[in-house]
Structure 1
């Protein structure tokens, strides 16, 4: 069975919504490498529609431009991209498709498909939350920023069941951001 690894920017007070509004002062090459590690090594990327729209609006152009991140852009373009959306979509980025059917059933089937690597996720808050609740997420990579945003959607909102996690690794970047890797127990 393939693993699903989700990476998220998160504030000290647990906010994951709209990181572009608060995370940029803490961005560094260390953080970029940590975020891209899971994405660049995956042959399949699972994304919510908003995250997909953001990625599709940036990465194809970066690949074409041939700059320093063109290799990463090519890896993302070559990966199978599965988008979770309740509405039909037309895709312009190669290797993109809509997840069909019930999320839990479809992702369970996806995990059982053959593949050379893990399935990566970036952002896509509601999808991550649903997969955590369903016990389908295997690893959570959090980039904890030293800022209390104080408003916005949190990763762990009110729910019925605890989510037990096991810390696998922790690293503190020069900017004060902590890269915490948890396995879902």
Structure 2
């Protein structure tokens, strides 16, 4: 079964909107390697329409320009790209297609296609939310930046049931960015202060 790995740039206050306006000062070789491990290593990309439009408007030109980022651009171009949209789309970027039918049902079928492999996601917040709620995201890669943006869309919406996750790995970059990888978790259960107070440190006498 294929695995879905969703990667997002996140500010300290949970904002994920318009990272191009605040995250580039923190982009170094460590972050580049993390992005490559999530997106560059994927044979299939699952993207919301706005994220796809942003990618398709930049990466083909970068590949053609032959600069330092051309090898990464070529990886994205060679990957199968599946776009989630209710509108009928036309594509100019190679290996692009539109997701058909119900999102959850279609992604389940995609994960169950023959062979192994990774389905990478970048941005596409509304799609990531829906797949998290459906339990279809195998790894949630959050690059948490040490900045409070104070405006914009946050990853998790208010008013919905809690979503327990388990920490798979963590790494602190030299820039202060935290590379956190989460996976699905069972319910954390119920507890009260009475349960917690036994874990408080007791001062020595």
**Global fold match (TM > 0.5):** yes
- Give the structure-1-normalised TM-score: 0.96
Say whether the 8 Å CA contact 1:41–1:117 is kept in structure 2: no
Query: Could you say what secondary structure the match of 1:30 adopts?
Result: helix
Corresponding residue of 1:146: 146
Corresponding residue of 1:86: 86
**Cα distance in 1, alignment partners of residues 100 and 140 from structure 2:** 24
Query: Could you say what secondary structure the match of 1:140 adopts?
Result: strand
Query: Could you say what secondary structure the match of 1:176 adopts?
Result: coil
- Give the structure-2-normalised TM-score: 0.87
**Is residue 102 of structure 1 aligned with residue 102 of structure 2?**
yes
Matches within 5 A, 1:53-132: 53-132=53-132
Moved over 3 A (4+): none
Structure 1 window deviating more from structure 2 (26-35 vs 129-138): it is 26-35
**Cα distance in 1, alignment partners of residues 32 and 56 from structure 2:** 18
Unaligned runs of 5+ in 1: none
Q: Considering only aligned residues, what root-mean-square deviation do their CA atoms show, in Å? A: 1.1
Unaligned runs of 5+ in 2: 186-205
**Cα distance in 2, alignment partners of residues 29 and 98 from structure 1:** 33
Decide whether aligned partners of structure 1 residues 153 and 86 sit closer, same or farther in structure 2, where only a CA change above 3 A counts: same
**Cα distance in 2, alignment partners of residues 184 and 91 from structure 1:** 34
**Cα distance in 1, alignment partners of residues 150 and 60 from structure 2:** 34
Number of residues paired by the alignment?
A: 185
